[in-house]
């Protein structure tokens, strides 16, 4: 990471960093949607990141390699034609169902453009109805994934009306994740968008060789706790899944992200929804962070006094996990005090940009 200093108001003797340049980050978990939203919003992700793991929870979901191939082409077609983002690379995933065959997994592996298979326990989140009702239905697919080294990307929550929504991640570890890793010891797993101390401890302390277990952490879970969503009126734009937890969990997430532990890496889970579907009697889950993701993460790392750890988390540990080269391109963030922009209009649809109440300190050049 290169830094460049400028004198502060405190005098010429004290310096603070004015610019940081580091390897271009990748987003290891993002929803870029389809159709007009994809066209309008993909440039945001493409401007910030070199590559991204693309979530398959479209309607209908991306369950075959052939579907992933045409979705990939639509994403490539939506890239900006000039300026930053023209070389953005989508890394595709398949949506695991009770019926995913081992042949489909082998096809995905052979394709060269599918980098993971996503487990949505049925009913846990947006467009997860076609997801897995019982992981025991997926044995053949999981064996094929183990054999071909294709990672399983996990939405780590149980769907059980008897389990409180704030506890669903912790219960998932005991009921699903631990038995799964025991039964498939060669299966590579990413525990996506972790939100609890239990998930952090599980990932950090697991007996796993490098490249076998990782976890993504979102900017919104690093920045806010559940009060943001529930105090002073209900705030639908802070409703996401897994739902925000109490402050102690947020603090632990920041510690994990800045720890320099290679199992924790960046995944925004940026998930745009039309404004009217968030501000609704039954509002959709998701925060739209793609527009300013790096600035949001930089804010967290700086406030924790760990800007020097941002590059590992954002740019190194993800590609290392996926066995991909680290980026040779760079990004530069410039010190500047600015407030997050107003909402955007994307092909006639309003999308609310994720905001926090204070000014940000870094801006992507």
Residues that bind ligand DOR (CB under 6 A): 31, 57, 125-126, 155, 240-241, 269, 271, 285-286
* Residue 136: CB minimum distance to ligand DOR, A: 22
Of the candidate residues 26, 157, 269, 311, the single one contacting Zn ion (CB under 5 A): 269
Residue closest to Zn ion when measured from CB atoms: 269
- Cβ partners under 8 Å of residue 247, min gap 6: 225, 227
Structure tokens at 323: 């066995």
* Binding footprint of Zn ion, residue count (CB under 5 A): 1
The annotation status of 32 as a binding-site residue, yes or no, is: yes
Q: Edge to edge, what strands does the sheet with 213-217 contain?
A: 27-30, 51-54, 89-95, 114-119, 152-154, 189-191, 213-217, 264-266
* Residue 171: CB minimum distance to ligand DOR, A: 16
**Residue 62 binds which entry of Zn ion, ligand DOR, none, CB below 5-8 Å type-dependent:** none
Please provide the distance, in angstroms rounded to a whole number, between the alpha carbons at the two ends of the chain: 15
- Cβ partners under 8 Å of residue 355, min gap 6: 237, 340
Q: Which is nearer to ligand DOR, 270 or 327 (CB)?
A: 270
Q: Tell which residue, 63, 93, 99, 101, has the closest CA to residue 75.
A: 93
The annotation status of 241 as a binding-site residue, yes or no, is: yes
Q: Tell which residue, 57, 158, 64, has the closest CA to residue 113.
A: 64
What sections of 78-205 are H helices per DSSP? 102-111, 139-148, 168-172, 178-183, 197-205
* Residue 154: CB minimum distance to ligand DOR, A: 11
The annotation status of 285 as a binding-site residue, yes or no, is: yes
The annotation status of 118 as a binding-site residue, yes or no, is: yes
Q: Which is nearer to ligand DOR, 25 or 156 (CB)?
A: 156
The annotation status of 31 as a binding-site residue, yes or no, is: yes
How far is the C-alpha of 248 from the C-alpha of 250, rounded, in Å?
5
Site string for Zn ion, 215-254 (x = CB under 5 A): ----------------------------------------
* Residue 244: CB minimum distance to ligand DOR, A: 10
Look at strands 344-346 and 51-54 and give their pairing. Answer: unpaired
The annotation status of 220 as a binding-site residue, yes or no, is: no
Q: Which is nearer to ligand DOR, 286 or 312 (CB)?
A: 286
Q: Which is nearer to ligand DOR, 293 or 331 (CB)?
A: 293
Place of tokens 């209900």: 234
* Residue 271: CB minimum distance to Zn ion, A: 6
Q: How many other CB atoms sit within 10 Å of the CB of residue 45?
A: 27
Angle, helix 247-258 to helix 293-303, in steps of 10 degrees: 90
How far is the C-alpha of 77 from the C-alpha of 46, rounded, in Å?
12
* Residue 56: CB minimum distance to Zn ion, A: 10
Stretch that binds Zn ion, among 38-46, 131-139, 248-256, 267-275 (CB under 5 A): 267-275
Q: Tell which residue, 264, 262, 263, has the closest CA to residue 253.
A: 264
Burial 129-139 (b: 16+ CB within 10 A, else e): ebbbeebeebe
Q: Which is nearer to ligand DOR, 5 or 59 (CB)?
A: 59
Is residue 110 helix, strand or coil? helix
Stretch that binds Zn ion, among 62-70, 162-170, 230-238, 261-269 (CB under 5 A): 261-269
As annotated, the active-site residues are 269
**Residue 240 binds which entry of ligand DOR, Zn ion, none, CB below 5-8 Å type-dependent:** ligand DOR
Stretch that binds Zn ion, among 104-112, 166-174, 204-212, 266-274 (CB under 5 A): 266-274
Give me the residues that bind Zn ion (CB under 5 A), please: 269
Binding site listing: 29, 31-33, 57, 118, 155, 193, 241, 269, 273, 285
Binding site listing for Zn(2+): 29, 31, 118, 155, 193, 269
């Amino acid at each position: 990471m290169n830094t460049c200093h400028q004198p502060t108001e405190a005098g010429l003797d004290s310096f603070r960093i004015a610019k940081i340049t580091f390897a271009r980050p990748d987003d290891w978990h993002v929803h870029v949607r389809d159709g007009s939203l994809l066209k309008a919003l993909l440039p945001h992700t493409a401007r910030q990141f070199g590559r991204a793991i693309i979530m398959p929870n479209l309607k209908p979901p991306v369950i075959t390699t052939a579907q992933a191939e045409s979705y990939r082409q639509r994403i490539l077609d939506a890239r900006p034609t000039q300026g930053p983002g023209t070389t953005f690379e989508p890394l595709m995933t398949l949506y695991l169902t009770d019926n995913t065959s081992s042949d489909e997994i082998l096809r995905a592996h052979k394709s060269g453009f599918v980098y993971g298979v996503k487990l949505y326990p049925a009913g846990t989140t947006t467009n997860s109805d076609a997801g897995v009702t019982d992981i025991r239905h997926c044995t053949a697919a999981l064996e094929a994934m183990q054999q071909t080294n294709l990672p399983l990307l996990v939405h780590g929550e149980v769907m059980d009306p008897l389990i409180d929504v704030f506890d669903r991640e912790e219960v998932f570890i005991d009921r699903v994740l631990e038995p799964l890793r025991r039964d498939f010891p060669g299966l590579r797993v990413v525990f996506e968008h972790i939100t609890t101390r239990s998930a952090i401890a599980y990932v950090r302390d697991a007996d796993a060789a490098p490249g076998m277990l990782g976890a993504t952490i979102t900017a919104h879970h690093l920045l806010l706790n559940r009060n943001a969503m529930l105090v002073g009126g209900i705030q639908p734009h802070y409703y996401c899944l897994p739902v925000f937890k109490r402050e102690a969990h947020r603090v632990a997430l920041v510690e994990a992200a800045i720890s320099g532990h290679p199992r924790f890496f960046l995944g925004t889970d940026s998930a745009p929804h039309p404004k009217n579907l968030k501000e609704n009697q039954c509002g959709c889950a998701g925060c739209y962070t793609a527009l300013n993701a790096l600035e949001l993460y930089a804010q967290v790392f700086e406030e924790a006094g760990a800007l020097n750890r941002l590059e590992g988390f954002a740019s190194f540990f993800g590609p290392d996990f996926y066995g991909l080269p680290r980026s040779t391109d760079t990004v530069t963030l410039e010190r500047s005090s600015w407030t997050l922009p107003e909402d955007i209009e994307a092909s006639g649809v309003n999308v609310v940009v994720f905001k926090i109440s204070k000014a940000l300190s870094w801006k992507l050049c």
